[in-house]
Structures are given as C-alpha cells and as structure tokens.
Amino acid sequence: MTIKRVTVLMGGASTEREVSLRSGQAAGKALEEAAFTVTLVDVGRDPAELVRTIAETRPEVVFNALHGRFGEDGCVQGVLNLLGVPYTHSGLLASAAAMDKGFARSLFETHGIPVAKGRVLRKGEASPLPRPHVVKPLNEGSSVGVYILKQGDNRDPLTDWPFDSDQVLVEEFIPGRELTVAVMGDRALGALEITSERGFYDYEAKYAQGGSRHIMPAPIPPEDYAEACRLAVAAHRALGCRGVSRADLRYDDTVKGTRPRMIVLEVNTQPGMTATSLVPEIAAHAGISFPELVRWMVEEARCDG
C-alpha cells in the first residue's frame, strides 16, 4: 500500500513542549518534501480531543514528534494502538521502558551493557555516592532537571527537587566525552561527539543555537567507535525499540595508560527532529537526507495491536 496521509503529533503538555513543536514542524516540512500529505496537530492535555482529531484527519500513519511525558512514555502509543493507527518510533512497552531510567538501566545490566554505578532513591533519602555525582528525574528527557552535584555545592535536590515524582536516580559522574549514536532499524548510522562550553550538555546546550558543537564522526579510535555503535544497537534491542532511536554514552579516556571506559547513559526513543538535532545530522553524514529519513520512518510505522 502506498502511504499518502500522515498526521504529525507535536507539542504536548510536557516540559519539552517547545522542542516538540519545533520537531513536528521540521518533520512535517521534510515529509511534504518526501511527497506526503501532512497534517500538523498540536496535542493538548485532553485525550478525548486527541482521539477526535486523529479520526478527523484520517491518517494512514501518525508521525509521533511528541517528547517527554504522554508522548514518549507509552501513553500516546497506547491510544494509537487502540485506534489501530500505525505510528513511527517505538511501541508502548519499549517507550515506557526507555522513559523509566531506573528500569532501563536494570535492563541494560541484564544484557551486559555497561552503565554508571547508581540507584533509585525516594525523596528525602541521602545519596550513598561520593561527589561528584549526577541527580536526574526518572522520566524526563532533554536533560530537564538534571543536576551534577560537586564538592562544595550547597544544593540539595534530593530533599527539595523540582520533579513531579517521589523518586530520583543518582549515578556516579563519568568524566570524559559525550557521544551519541543514531540507530535506524537494526543498524547504527554513526557516532557523534558533542562538546559544550557550558561544561555539561544540558537543555540550553541541546537546543540553543551555538549551545554545543557537534563533531561527526566522533574523533575516537576505530575500535572504540565500533564499540559505541555496537552498544547503541544492543541497547536498542534490549529495550525492544523499533524505527529510529538515539543512545547517549560517556567515553572516559581521562586515565592515561588504561583502556577508555564506555558507559551507556540512556536511549531516546523519540529523538529530536529540530534544526540542531543529532539524528538528522548523523543520518546526513551516512548519506541519508532528512526527507529520506522521515520517509523510511513512515514506511516502517506500525502499531502493537
């Protein structure tokens, strides 16, 4: 069947709403260049309204450009499964598993994928990790709410954090370099290094123009480059992802005379599609244009039910 009508879901009610709007607009433009008939839908908080809108637009496929809660955590995937409408990116189970950082890291450990030392704590518990260490909410993306607690830092996010949750993940801080790998189907498209003068690849570094610098391909030894790609695909498979995902890793080459250490931080099942996004940049280096990338995603779309 030739697919013509695509509805792009964007916006949403999460902390990543503005990024999602940009992703949706950029993806919608690329889809039109790929000869699809596109309808953009700004998703609000009312699921009944979402169902009505999807029914009205009669999509053959939904391109899910939502980020964060509701759009990336299995909720909207469940709605689309019930409606029987194929959609891009991962299904309900993989989306929920990847969004829960504590569960995802346990799954990675089970599959032999290296992760940072850490544990999930309830609000008010003291962290057992020495500083510096990282504090992050369990179910936010784009580095929203992430703190690096250093020696002499008087903040106490474990007691009074701005997260809508009773639990938080604390992990050892891994020095070194920030890598990200795009996975398309069952293969890695390549590994990119991210640098930022902010010293931390936070929300502003991710989305502000000039907030970070991308080096593609990542300037690391060939065997380490291959290992980063292997781990990204392994993490994608461990979660049961489909379509496109992006794995974020730390590459610790700070200890001279020893093999560099590679750590998987997380997998993004709904990677950004903005002007500064990483997956389209990695895909372009692999010879895949943005319209070609979104066309492939639409053609691979399906639902779980």
Q: Which residues does the annotation mark as catalytic?
A: 16, 142, 207, 246, 248, 266, 268, 272
Question: For residues 187 and 197, is the Cβ–Cβ distance under 8 A?
Answer: no
Scanning the structure block, which residue is given the tokens 């639409």? 298
Rounded to the nearest angstrom, the gap between the alpha carbon of residue 171 and the centroid of all alpha carbons in its chain is 18
In the chain, the largest separation of any two C-alpha atoms, in whole Å, equals 62
* Cα distances (Å, whole numbers) of residue 251 to 66, 150, 207, 258: 29, 20, 22, 13
* Strand stretches in the chain, DSSP E: 5-11, 37-43, 61-64, 118-122, 133-137, 147-149, 167-172, 177-184, 187-195, 213-215, 244-252, 261-268
